[in-house]
């Protein structure tokens, strides 16, 4: 029997208004395991109005910032306590490795602790203006209702990046998870209840983009949209939000270069390249899907890379020794296989993989073999477009200038990796690469302490770190006259 979920609106567990459900699949078995409420515009309206009411009246707006912070820290404690269970639900729903998800869900607690600690440190300032007998100060205030739209590849982690700062700033929120991966967020809402966060402050609407996502973005009571997903969908969301003059932050796609110079520690660089593209089955926005390798070491580096990549163990993501899991959903499986065919038709040479995996260890799941292409030109679609799967393109370069030219020659700018032992080269490349994150001699490192976001079509705004808290705040300037008499009212002061 399939597990049947309800969604969470105004502090209550409810079915969709229509009473309809849709199935969510286990990517390893290729079969449905749960039923998710199929919400629509009227459910969105209920959720947004509940969030708006919670923002304007009741307990939430009367809480001090310190008490808001205490609630967030309590939520963080609960996340840490239940991190293994949350990881297991997410693995079942999206196929990420239990070996990765268990530490990731535990690490999520740090965002709630961190922003819980920042909640009562949101401070304005007194401004020494040029106006005599006048007192001027600023204060930061919450925006109102935030619409958070999160993707299927890391639903809980990327929800955390939005939820923790939004609540720390005093906003309320309506979260729309991907229709492919809603279960873990619904389980997480039980922890939100236990943390004592007031009803209506956090709401969830589950369903499909046109039925739920767009009505949420377009709702007149939504003040800000926080979106993570593809750049194509992000553009549509941005256009819809612009019609309502809403605040927007977006973390979108990537086609990140992982650049290996001839002075790199080659074994470390090989591990970094494998981590960048085959970890999480390549289904990360920061995937290092373009390997730029200096010509002088090209052949020996590729040989070492292929040797390590061939050892990658596919299989059940619940097994601790599995290294490459399934693609999260069937449409994405078909997209990845299509890009592999496109690469072959463009003349790229498959050096490894290049097919759907069908071994016994893969069961009936949606697996693609770890795939590496040689003979790639940076103008090919496989080098320019986001595949979002375990597919790597190798592009040789001769010197630093060519590496920079190739690295920056895409519409994206989310991340980049640089492998070198030269401090001069590391600093120069970090300065000149057009990317929101540059890793040197490492890859895929993130922290609640450090801002994350993209250049160009990879996004707008930042997530994590102290500064991004202002993405969820607006500033007010307050003027107080200390004059005993108002001067000429027809003259601007």
Helices 400-408 and 423-432: crossing angle in degrees, nearest 10, is: 30
Chain length of the chain: 493
Q: Give the span between the Cα atoms of 480 and 459, in whole angstroms.
A: 39
251 an active-site residue? yes
Catalytic position from the list 39, 90, 211, 285: 285
88 an active-site residue? no
Q: Which residues contact 280 (CB under 8 A, 6 or more apart)?
A: 96, 97, 100, 153, 287
Beta strands in 381-486 (DSSP E): 391-397, 412-413, 415-419, 437-440, 455-456, 459-460, 473-481
Of 190, 183, 195, 163, give the one whose Cα is nearest residue 471: 163
The owner of tokens 């203006």 is 129
Catalytic position from the list 90, 187, 211, 251: 251
Phi, psi of 419 (to 5 degrees): -120, 110
Alpha carbon dihedral 50, 51, 56, 60, in 10-degree steps, equals 110
Q: What is the CA radius of gyration of the chain?
A: 24
Instruction: Report the sign of the C-alpha dihedral through residues 130, 133, 137, 143, in that order.
Output: negative
The owner of tokens 């390798």 is 293
Per-residue H/E/C for 344-363: HHHCCEEEECCCECCCHHHC
Report, as residue numbers or ranges, the catalytic residues: 251, 285
């Amino acid at each position: 029997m399939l597990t049947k979920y309800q969604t969470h609106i105004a502090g209550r567990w409810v079915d969709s208004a229509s009473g309809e459900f849709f199935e969510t699949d286990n990517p390893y078995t290729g079969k449905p395991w749960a039923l998710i409420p199929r919400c629509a515009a009227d459910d969105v309206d209920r959720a947004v109005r509940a969030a708006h009411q919670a923002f304007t009246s009741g307990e939430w707006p009367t809480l001090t910032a310190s008490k808001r912070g205490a609630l967030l820290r309590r939520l963080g404690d609960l996340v840490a306590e239940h991190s293994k269970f949350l990881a297991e639900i997410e693995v079942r729903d999206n196929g990420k490795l239990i070996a990765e998800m268990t530490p990731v869900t535990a690490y999520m607690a740090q965002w709630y602790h961190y922003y819980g600690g920042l909640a009562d440190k949101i401070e304005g300032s007194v401004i020494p203006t040029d106006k005599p007998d006048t007192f001027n100060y600023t204060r930061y205030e919450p925006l109102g209702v935030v619409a958070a739209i999160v993707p299927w590849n890391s639903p809980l982690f990327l929800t955390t990046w939005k939820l923790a700062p939004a609540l720390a700033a005093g906003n309320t929120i309506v979260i729309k998870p991907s229709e492919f991966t809603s279960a873990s967020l619904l389980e997480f809402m039980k922890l939100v209840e236990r943390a004592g966060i007031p009803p209506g402050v956090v709401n969830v609407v589950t369903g499909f983009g046109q039925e739920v996502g767009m009505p949420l973005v377009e709702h007149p009571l939504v003040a800000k949209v926080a979106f993570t997903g593809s750049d194509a969908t992000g553009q549509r969301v941005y256009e819809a939000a612009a019609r309502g003059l809403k605040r927007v932050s977006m973390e979108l796609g990537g086609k990140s270069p992982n650049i290996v110079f001839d002075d790199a520690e080659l074994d470390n660089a090989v591990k970094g390249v494998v981590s960048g593209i085959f970890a999480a089955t390549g289904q990360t926005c920061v995937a290092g899907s373009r390997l730029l390798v200096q010509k002088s070491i090209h052949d020996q580096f590729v040989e070492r890379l292929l040797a390590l990549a061939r050892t990658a163990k596919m299989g059940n993501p619940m097994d601790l020794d599995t290294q490459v899991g399934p693609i999260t959903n069937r449409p994405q499986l078909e997209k990845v296989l299509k890009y592999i065919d496109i690469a072959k038709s463009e003349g790229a040479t498959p050096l490894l993989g290049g097919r759907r995996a069908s071994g016994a260890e893969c069961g009936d799941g949606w697996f693609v073999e770890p795939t590496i292409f040689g003979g790639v030109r940076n103008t090919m679609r496989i080098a320019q477009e986001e595949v979002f799967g375990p597919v790597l393109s190798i592009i040789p370069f001769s010197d630093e200038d060519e590496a920079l030219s190739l690295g920056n020659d895409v519409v994206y700018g989310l991340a980049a990796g640089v492998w070198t032992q030269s401090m001069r080269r590391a600093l120069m490349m970090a300065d000149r690469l057009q990317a929101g994150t540059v890793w040197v001699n490492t890859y895929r490192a993130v922290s609640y302490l450090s801002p994350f976001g993209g250049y160009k079509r990879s996004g707008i705004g930042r997530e994590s770190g102290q500064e991004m808290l202002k993405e969820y705040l607006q500033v007010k300037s307050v003027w107080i006259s200390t004059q005993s008499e108002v001067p000429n009212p027809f003259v601007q002061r």
